[in-house]
């Protein structure tokens, strides 16, 4: 394992990196079941995992903690993949669903339906996904409109502007409606705790579509990374590939947002870590994003339970604290000399 | 002999002003160069501001006629209107004027210094950091400093971090801005973290402040802001000729005999002071800093750096936004931060979308 550090990222064996990441993920899931805020001691949790615990302990470990681990798994998976896809299609290491206002579009759509009378329990995932699609299209068209060569920072600024606008309108909507504000207050901070796992099953069909989209686009995206002309020369259709990827991103981000609320910076950190481990090829990065996303979300969730006992810290806060330094690191890196 | 004939007369002083300007001499060694157009522009803005003030003082759930408002301001009028104007509406109006002027002036300075229209204190995270520090003193994390002082410390910290992390690129370019966006995100997360640690009552009372509102201001902090704003305005007047050099390149500024580092540090200190004190009063209403200077620049036809005009337009924008939020959906009161975000967001997108810019800014 140590010898990996001497190999260039692009030459590392994908299979062994992937398997070790899976091993770390299993460890994270185990920790997530073991640690927690509240009365249950570490030993009692361990005993419960081994099969002999009280009914209370069993409920805590196998229902409460298992559920949030499952939600964390799903959110990490979707947001990590969405981030990698978005960065590939925008050819911009800063493109991230949270920063670019895709999550904000999704929460805006959810807020509208809540004001119109839905409740978070019966929330349809489709609404969140539609909002994410609109947000995605908005920010990409804004960034595309000035007709210059792709400017990474401009995209982020457009996303920041779009996010702040959508968030302001969202809070404006919630001012009128006390019920909707109460419903959304716990959802909008972004957390994996106390979420309804039934929503997970309603998301699955759209995830299937997203997986098909990704399988279709992985190869064209890899050639698109070499430039638009090269991709055309290799027989791909960049416009169509982009459209398919945007649909996939919207499905993934909308699904994650519908379940856990907006969680920022996951889509930035995960592909960044994946590229550092296995190099820039999107086909390799995507594989590694699968275990890395859940690793980061679940470990952040475990930390958020432990640092502020007996209360919990919102997950969104922790991901921002992890993600913002990574953002700075990317901006400072020598690969972005045009800034 | 040769020396004498070549040297300039020692006691020659500049006595003629350039076209459209006027010289105002203060003492023997100091003169102020004043642009006539700017004076006219600012007088008009002041008149507009006065009209807006009278309108604001009169409007609300209990309307008072403009005539009555003016009478009350001069000490006449009945007791009820005196109470409403003096005790309820005037403090809020003053807070609006001060914060609007402070945010806008800080924005104008920062934009000029960074030569980038997007570089306002709100976008590069100074607002959020000031907010996080001020909230920490409000929710009582064992710090007993006044919120104003804490907000100042936060603003200074954020600026120092943004500069440090942007590396050698200085204030120029976009790297500085993205570093600021990251710092703003961390500071926002810290604010949320602090608010999640306290009881729900304290968190609820701090909420309007975190989105930017004039309803929860502290009279002491308004006074501090007033003093700070006055000092900074006077400083800007005297340093205007130095700041006017900032749009040029570093080499030109040095060639003209000015010290670019000093100018930048002074401008930054003014920015930090203004932003920190204003955030302590009204929370992060940073988009005023984007809109106010732009209006001033249009009015000045993109000539020079309209510092005073920016302060005036900022105050005007803030008053109107607050009036809008207060009256349009009454009895619900929209926080002024939300109103400015709804106005400023599309404007920000427009800046990014349009293809050509008229000036380098």
Distance (Å) from the alpha carbon of B236 to chain A's nearest alpha carbon: 30
What are the strands, taking DSSP E only, across chain B? Answer: 21-26, 30-35
Residues in A closer than 8 angstroms to B338, CB to CB, are 168, 171-172, 175
Q: Do B185 and A146 touch (CB under 8 A)?
A: no
Could you tell me if A185 lies within 8 Å of chain B, comparing CB atoms?
no
Task: Tell me the pLDDT band of B27, cut-offs 50, 70 and 90.
Answer: low
Residue among B203, B210, B345, B350 with most chain A CBs within 10 A, to mutate: B345
Q: Do B349 and A165 touch (CB under 8 A)?
A: yes
Two tokens at B267?
Answer: 């401008």
Residue among A99, A269, A328, A339 with most chain B CBs within 10 A, to mutate: A328
Q: Do A264 and B185 touch (CB under 8 A)?
A: yes
pLDDT of residue B5: 36
Residues in A closer than 8 angstroms to B341, CB to CB, are 164-165, 167-168
Provide ipTM, 2 decimals: 0.70
Which DSSP string corresponds to A232-282? Answer: HHTT--HHHHHHHHHHHHHHHHHHHHHHH----SHHHHHHHHHHHHH-S-H
Could you tell me if A116 lies within 8 Å of chain B, comparing CB atoms?
no
pLDDT of residue B8: 40
Residues in B closer than 8 angstroms to A323, CB to CB, are 185
Distance (Å) from the alpha carbon of A190 to chain B's nearest alpha carbon: 12
Best-predicted range by mean pLDDT (B118-122, B155-159, B189-193):
B155-159
Longest dimension (CA), chain B: 85
Could you tell me if A161 lies within 8 Å of chain B, comparing CB atoms?
yes
Residues in B closer than 8 angstroms to A317, CB to CB, are 189-190, 192-193, 196
The C-alpha atoms of residue B67 and residue B54 are separated, in whole angstroms, by 9
Residues in A closer than 8 angstroms to B186, CB to CB, are 320-321, 324-325
Could you tell me if B167 lies within 8 Å of chain A, comparing CB atoms?
yes
What's phi and psi for B24, nearest 5 deg? -120, 115
From residue B17, alpha-carbon distances to A136, B33, B356 in Å are 55, 7, 35
The C-alpha atoms of residue A109 and residue A112 are separated, in whole angstroms, by 5
Decide if B253 contacts B85 (C-beta within 8 A).
Answer: no
The C-alpha atoms of residue B192 and residue A308 are separated, in whole angstroms, by 13
The C-alpha atoms of residue A262 and residue A257 are separated, in whole angstroms, by 5
Q: Does B230 reside within a domain?
A: yes
pLDDT of residue A276: 85
Residue in chain A lying closest to B174 (CA): A339
Residue range of the domain that includes B95: 40-353
pLDDT of residue B145: 58
Residue among A168, A309, A320 with most chain B CBs within 10 A, to mutate: A168
Q: Do A314 and B169 touch (CB under 8 A)?
A: no
- Total domain count for chain B? 1
Q: Does B25 reside within a domain?
A: no
- Domain ranges for chain A, please list them: 82-332
The answer, yes or no, to whether residue B358 has pLDDT greater than 60, is no
The C-alpha atoms of residue A3 and residue B76 are separated, in whole angstroms, by 87
Residues in B closer than 8 angstroms to A264, CB to CB, are 185
Could you tell me if A308 lies within 8 Å of chain B, comparing CB atoms?
yes
Residues in A closer than 8 angstroms to B192, CB to CB, are 189, 314, 316-317
- Specify whether the backbone of A261 is left (phi greater than 0), alpha (psi in -120 to 50) or beta: left
Size of interface A-B (CB pairs under 8 A): 117
Q: Do A153 and B177 touch (CB under 8 A)?
A: yes
How many angstroms from the chain centroid is the CA of residue A206? 16
Two tokens at B227?
Answer: 């003093």
- Residue B65 is part of a domain; what is its CATH number? 1.10.3470.10
∠ Cα B145 B150 B153 (to 5°): 135
For residue B133, which of B141, B86, B220 has the smallest C-alpha distance? Answer: B141
The answer, yes or no, to whether residue B170 has pLDDT greater than 60, is no
Q: Does B9 reside within a domain?
A: no
Average pLDDT over residues B161-183: 70
List, as ranges, residues 246-285 from A with C-beta within 8 Å of B: 264-265
Residue among B128, B132, B164, B185 with most chain A CBs within 10 A, to mutate: B185
Least confident of A187-191, B153-157, B264-268, B318-322: A187-191
The C-alpha atoms of residue A280 and residue A221 are separated, in whole angstroms, by 12
Residues above pLDDT 90, as percent of chain B: 13
Residues in B closer than 8 angstroms to A94, CB to CB, are 178
Q: Does B290 reside within a domain?
A: yes
pLDDT of residue B106: 93
The answer, yes or no, to whether residue B194 has pLDDT greater than 90, is no
Residue in the structure block whose two tokens are 């020659």: B12
Residue among A92, A138, A160 with most chain B CBs within 10 A, to mutate: A160
Residue in the structure block whose two tokens are 């550092």: A276
Residues in B closer than 8 angstroms to A145, CB to CB, are 353
Could you tell me if A50 lies within 8 Å of chain B, comparing CB atoms?
no
Residues in B closer than 8 angstroms to A101, CB to CB, are none
The answer, yes or no, to whether residue B172 has pLDDT greater than 70, is no
Which DSSP string corresponds to A131-188? Answer: HHHHHHHHHHHHHHHT-SS--HHHHHHHHHHHHHHHHHHHHHHHHH-HHHHHHHHTTT
Q: Do B189 and A320 touch (CB under 8 A)?
A: yes
| Neighbouring C-beta atoms of residue B105, cutoff 10 Å | 31
List, as ranges, residues 202-241 from B with C-beta within 8 Å of A: 211
The C-alpha atoms of residue A270 and residue A268 are separated, in whole angstroms, by 6
Distance (Å) from the alpha carbon of B106 to chain A's nearest alpha carbon: 20
Q: Does B31 reside within a domain?
A: no
Residues in B closer than 8 angstroms to A156, CB to CB, are 178, 181
Superfamily holding A82-332: ABC transporter involved in vitamin B12 uptake, BtuC (1.10.3470.10)
Q: Which of A161, A176, A311 sits opposite B332 (nearest CB)?
A: A176
Q: Do A171 and B193 touch (CB under 8 A)?
A: no
The per-residue pLDDT string of chain A (339 residues; one tens digit each, 9 = 90 and over) reads 556 667 777 778 888 889 999 999 999 998 888 887 666 777 778 887 777 777 778 887 888 888 889 989 999 999 999 999 988 887 777 788 888 888 888 888 888 888 887 665 566 678 888 888 888 888 777 766 655 555 666 777 778 778 878 887 887 777 777 777 766 766 777 777 777 777 788 888 888 899 899 888 888 888 888 878 888 888 888 888 888 888 899 999 988 888 888 888 898 899 988 988 888 888 888 999 999 999 999 999 888 888 777 677 778 778 888 888 888 777 776 555 433
Decide if B102 contacts B270 (C-beta within 8 A).
Answer: no
How many angstroms from the chain centroid is the CA of residue A34? 24
> First vs last Cα of chain A: how many Å apart?
36
Could you tell me if B193 lies within 8 Å of chain A, comparing CB atoms?
yes
Residues above pLDDT 70, as percent of chain B: 82
Q: Which of B175, B345, B346 sits opposite A339 (nearest CB)?
A: B175
List, as ranges, residues 285-324 from B with C-beta within 8 Å of A: 287
């Amino acid at each position: 394992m140590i010898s990996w550090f001497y190999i260039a990222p692009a030459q590392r064996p994908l299979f062994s990196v992937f398997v070790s990441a899976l091993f770390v993920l299993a460890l994270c899931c185990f920790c997530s079941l073991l640690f927690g805020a509240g009365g249950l001691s570490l030993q009692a949790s361990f005993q419960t995992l081994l099969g002999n615990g009280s009914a209370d302990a069993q409920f805590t470990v196998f229902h409460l903690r298992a559920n949030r681990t499952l939600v964390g798994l799903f959110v990490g998976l979707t947001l990590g993949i969405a981030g990698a896809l978005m960065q590939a299609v925008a050819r911009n290491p800063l493109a991230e669903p949270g920063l670019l206002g895709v999550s904000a579009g999704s929460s805006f759509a959810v807020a509208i339906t809540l004001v119109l009378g839905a409740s978070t329990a019966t929330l349809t995932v489709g609404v969140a996904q539609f909002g994410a699609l609109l947000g995605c299209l908005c920010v990409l068209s804004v960034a595309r409109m000035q007709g210059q060569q792709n400017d990474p920072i401009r995209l982020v600024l457009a996303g920041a502007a779009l996010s702040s606008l959508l968030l302001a309108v969202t809070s404006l909507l919630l001012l009128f409606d006390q019920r909707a504000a109460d419903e959304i207050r716990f959802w909008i901070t972004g957390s994996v705790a106390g979420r309804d796992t039934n929503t997970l099953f309603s998301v699955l069909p759209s995830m299937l579509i997203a997986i098909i989209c990704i399988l279709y686009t992985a190869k064209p995206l890899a050639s698109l990374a070499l430039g638009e002309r090269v991709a055309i020369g290799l027989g791909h259709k960049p416009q169509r590939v982009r459209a398919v990827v945007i649909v996939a991103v919207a499905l993934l981000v909308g699904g994650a947002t519908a379940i856990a609320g907006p969680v920022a910076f996951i889509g930035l950190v995960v592909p960044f870590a994946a590229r550092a481990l296995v190099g820039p090829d999107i086909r390799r990065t995507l594989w590694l994003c699968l275990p890395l996303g859940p690793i980061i979300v679940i470990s952040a969730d475990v930390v958020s339970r432990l640092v502020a006992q007996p209360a919990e810290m919102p997950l969104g806060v922790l991901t921002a604290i992890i993600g913002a330094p990574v953002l700075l690191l990317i901006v400072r890196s020598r690969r972005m000399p045009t800034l | 002999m040769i020396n004498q004939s070549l040297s300039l007369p020692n006691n020659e002083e500049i006595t003629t002003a350039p076209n459209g300007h006027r010289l105002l001499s203060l003492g023997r060694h100091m003169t102020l160069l004043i642009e006539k157009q700017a004076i006219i522009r600012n007088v008009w803005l002041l008149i507009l501001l006065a009209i807006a003030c009278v309108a604001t003082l009169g409007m609300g759930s209990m309307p008072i006629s403009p005539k009555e408002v003016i009478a009350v301001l001069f000490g006449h009028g009945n007791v009820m209107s005196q109470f409403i104007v003096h005790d309820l509406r005037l403090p809020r109006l003053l807070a609006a004027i001060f914060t609007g002027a402070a945010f806008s002036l800080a924005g104008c300075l920062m934009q000029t210094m960074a030569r980038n229209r997007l570089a306002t204190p709100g976008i590069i995270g100074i607002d959020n950091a000031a907010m996080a520090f001020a909230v920490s003193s409000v929710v009582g994390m064992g710090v007993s400093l006044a919120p104003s002082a804490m907000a100042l410390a936060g603003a200074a910290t954020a600026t120092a971090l943004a500069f440090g992390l942007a590396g050698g690129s200085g204030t120029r370019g976009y790297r500085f801005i993205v570093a600021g966006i990251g710092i703003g995100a961390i500071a926002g997360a810290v604010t949320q973290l602090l608010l999640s640690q306290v009881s729900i009552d304290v968190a609820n009372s701090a909420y309007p402040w975190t989105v930017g509102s004039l309803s929860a201001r502290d009279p002491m902090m308004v006074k501090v802001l007033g003093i700070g704003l006055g000092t900074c305005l006077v400083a800007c007047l005297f340093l205007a000729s130095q700041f006017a050099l900032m749009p040029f390149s570093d080499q030109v500024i040095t060639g003209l005999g000015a010290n670019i580092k000093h100018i930048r540090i002074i401008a930054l200190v003014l920015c930090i002071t203004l932003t920190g004190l204003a955030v302590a009063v009204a929370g992060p209403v940073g988009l005023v800093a984007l809109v106010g200077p732009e209006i001033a620049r249009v009015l000045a036809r993109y000539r020079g750096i309209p510092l005073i005009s920016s302060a005036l337009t900022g105050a005007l924008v803030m008053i109107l936004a607050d009036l809008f939020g207060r009256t349009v959906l009454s009895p619900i009161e929209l926080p002024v931060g939300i109103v400015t975000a709804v106005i400023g967001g599309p404007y920000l997108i427009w800046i990014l979308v349009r293809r050509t810019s008229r000036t380098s800014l």
